[in-house]
Structure 1
Amino acid sequence: GKVEFCLGTEEMHMPTPPDLSQEHFRVFSSVEKSKLPYSQLGLVISSYYETIDVLQASNQRSLKVQALHQLGSLLVFAGKKRAAFKCWCQALDDIFRKQDVLHTWKELGTTVTNATNSCSPPRSKDYSEEFLSRVGIWGCLQGAEISAKIAQFIKVLDVEKRSNCCILSALLFQGLLRTTLPHPKAERCYAQYEITQLLPGIELFSDIYRANICSVVASLYYVIRELHFAKQNIIILPLLALYQYFVAGICQDLVRNLEVRILKIEVLTELSFFSEAFHEIFQIFCGKHMPSFIPTSSRACGKVKMLPQKFLGI
């Protein structure tokens, strides 16, 4: 037989998915789907708002946060940054169950009176641990990504507010390191720390709508670069370890793994952690902690051969 299509006839996008059992496949759009026309973007946005109202009425707070997060990204794409900012702020408030979290999060945090780690002096508050106890793992992950997007797409011209959003995002990302596994609490202890296991038994990125690995990695890297530019190098040491775990352990991305390790060397050098920086250079030279698809036939690095003292000028 001969297959023919009715040219010039296109179907409109409806609020509900079509019933494929009743589909006759007479037009191109029923066989090959193209990207959503910009003219129908308003329909998708209005559908999101209606969905959020339904989730609010049914007390589905977690799904509502996801919808607000996605709607904010869609509104940024549509050029409506003010509306996107409102959605993301509402999502943060729902995560913390507190009003105006973006500007009042410093009021939170557990007061620390004694040093909990010998690597650094005591701090006044441990925000990351408090955030984890308040919002949980998924709340930390969602909140960190939303805060990073606010900094990247909304607070473009205000350096102080952008840095504040990045610090909030960094502390929320660090909340993932405050679980039952004995990860260090002090930032400087991550100068040589490698994360081999983050959350046993929990697949962070099993649900792409709850946590998209590409989006999380992009947001985390933006926060690292922004705080590095602001000379907040101590706070990003745990983020570098977390980013390296994501790109090497989960994504198996050799390029990004090398990229972040070179950045780590730069950060350690600026902090005057020269021995740790040399250790990282040596690890790269030996090909250690690289993604597993590196050919096994690569030559292993032997012991370091120390130069005689006369060549070192000693």
Structure 2
Amino acid sequence: GKVEFCLGTEEMHLPTPPDLSQEHFRVSSSVEKSKLPSSQLGLVISSYYKTIDVLQASNQRSLKVQALHELGSLLIFAEKKRAAFKCWCQALDDIFRKSDALHTWKEFGPSFTNTSDNCSPSGFKDYSEEFLSKVGIWGCLQGAVISAKIAQFIKTLNVKKRINCCILSALLFQGLLRTTLPHPKAERCYAQYEIIQLLPGIELFSDRYRADICSVVASLYYIIRELHFAKQNLIVLPLLALYQYFVSGICQDIVRSIEARLLKVEVLIDLGFFSEAFYEMSQVLHGKNMPSTVPAGCKAPGKIKVILPI
């Protein structure tokens, strides 16, 4: 039979989401949503600015950071890079509670000098513990993604500034590994380290507006690639362990899991860790520590016995 919609019927927007089990789908808008017209993009952007002002007045700093982050992404979509950069810088300032945090983050407290490969910049220090104590878990996660986006979308021409943004993002990501004692501190210890549980009792991605798994994974992968190309290989090792945990343990993405292990092999070879690189390659070849290819709730097929005729 035919499927027809009632023309001229307008959809009424309720304060709560509709119950789809009671939906009759008589209106075309109930089954199809068109993208936001470019003519209304300015209205959405102005609404974000007004919302940020309200959050600022009510001292809702965490929500303000989220709004600034989203607004920056929206402005990038609208091809307004300068305005996006301003929003993201303001978000970092609110996270660190410090003006011009993008350029002054190295001024945070005393830090211990970290052992690094000979390609690391002189005087390179690990600020991850200071970052964690200063901005907390959510601040580290949001700041890491925002810094990565600044490096990817804003600092496209200046290599030095882009790498500095990547290092800031990497140290913020490493702050997630400073929350519990089992995770090692030395970066070279991550050559064969597998993260089983990142933050016991905390669901990082329970609220996608605060931490979207797709955005986090994409930003983390970008940082890993950029730092690897810049020969900052030692700082990449903890990030690879974190990325492997996200794509394998949470996303259950076998393709990205294999890509991560192959990239780790490249990094280990560049560092001269040949035995560790061989171990990683053997993990890939034997399919160990990989996400299950069988969907959750399904029974894995058993081995089929073939009886040959006598």
Fold match by TM threshold 0.5: yes
1:91 matched to 2:87? The reply is no
Which residue pairs with 1:14 in the alignment? none
User: CA separation in 1, counterparts of 2:87 and 2:166?
Assistant: 18
Deviation at 1:113, TM superposition (A): 7.8
Which residue pairs with 1:210 in the alignment? 210
Which residue pairs with 2:120 in the alignment? none
Which residue pairs with 2:307 in the alignment? none
The root-mean-square deviation of aligned C-alpha atoms, in Å, is: 2.6
Which residue pairs with 1:291 in the alignment? 291
Which residue pairs with 1:107 in the alignment? 107
1:1-314 to 2 correspondence within 5 Å?
A: 4-6=6-8, 18-19=13-14, 28-29=28-29, 32-112=32-112, 125-293=125-293
TM-score by length of 1: 0.83
User: CA separation in 2, counterparts of 1:3 and 1:233?
Assistant: 58
User: CA separation in 2, counterparts of 1:230 and 1:114?
Assistant: 18
User: CA separation in 2, counterparts of 1:167 and 1:20?
Assistant: 43
Q: Are the counterparts in 2 of residues 148 and 166 from structure 1 also a CA contact under 8 Å? A: yes
Q: Are the counterparts in 2 of residues 109 and 131 from structure 1 also a CA contact under 8 Å? A: no
Deviation at 1:108, TM superposition (A): 1.3
Structure 2 letter corresponding to 1:90 = Q
% identity of equivalent residues: 78
User: CA separation in 1, counterparts of 2:179 and 2:219?
Assistant: 21
User: CA separation in 2, counterparts of 1:204 and 1:20?
Assistant: 27
When residues 28 and 281 of structure 1 are mapped into structure 2, their CA distance, relative to the original with a 3 A threshold, is closer
User: CA separation in 2, counterparts of 1:83 and 1:170?
Assistant: 24
Deviation at 1:110, TM superposition (A): 3.2
User: CA separation in 1, counterparts of 2:233 and 2:217?
Assistant: 19
How many aligned residue pairs are there? 281
User: CA separation in 2, counterparts of 1:157 and 1:114?
Assistant: 29
Structure 2 letter corresponding to 1:5 = L
User: CA separation in 1, counterparts of 2:113 and 2:184?
Assistant: 18
When residues 96 and 279 of structure 1 are mapped into structure 2, their CA distance, relative to the original with a 3 A threshold, is same
User: CA separation in 2, counterparts of 1:189 and 1:183?
Assistant: 9
Greater CA deviation, 182-191 or 31-40?
A: 31-40
Deviation at 1:142, TM superposition (A): 0.1
Deviation at 1:287, TM superposition (A): 1.4
When residues 26 and 144 of structure 1 are mapped into structure 2, their CA distance, relative to the original with a 3 A threshold, is same
When residues 72 and 124 of structure 1 are mapped into structure 2, their CA distance, relative to the original with a 3 A threshold, is closer
- Could you say what secondary structure the match of 1:111 adopts? coil
TM-score by length of 2: 0.84
Runs of 4+ residues deviating >6 angstroms: none
Q: Are the counterparts in 1 of residues 249 and 291 from structure 2 also a CA contact under 8 Å? A: yes
When residues 296 and 172 of structure 1 are mapped into structure 2, their CA distance, relative to the original with a 3 A threshold, is farther
Structure 2 letter corresponding to 1:154 = I
Q: Deviation string for 1:34-78 (max 9, x for gaps)?
A: 111011000000000000000000000000000000000000000
Greater CA deviation, 217-226 or 177-186?
A: 177-186
Q: Are the counterparts in 2 of residues 112 and 124 from structure 1 also a CA contact under 8 Å? A: no
User: CA separation in 1, counterparts of 2:301 and 2:138?
Assistant: 36
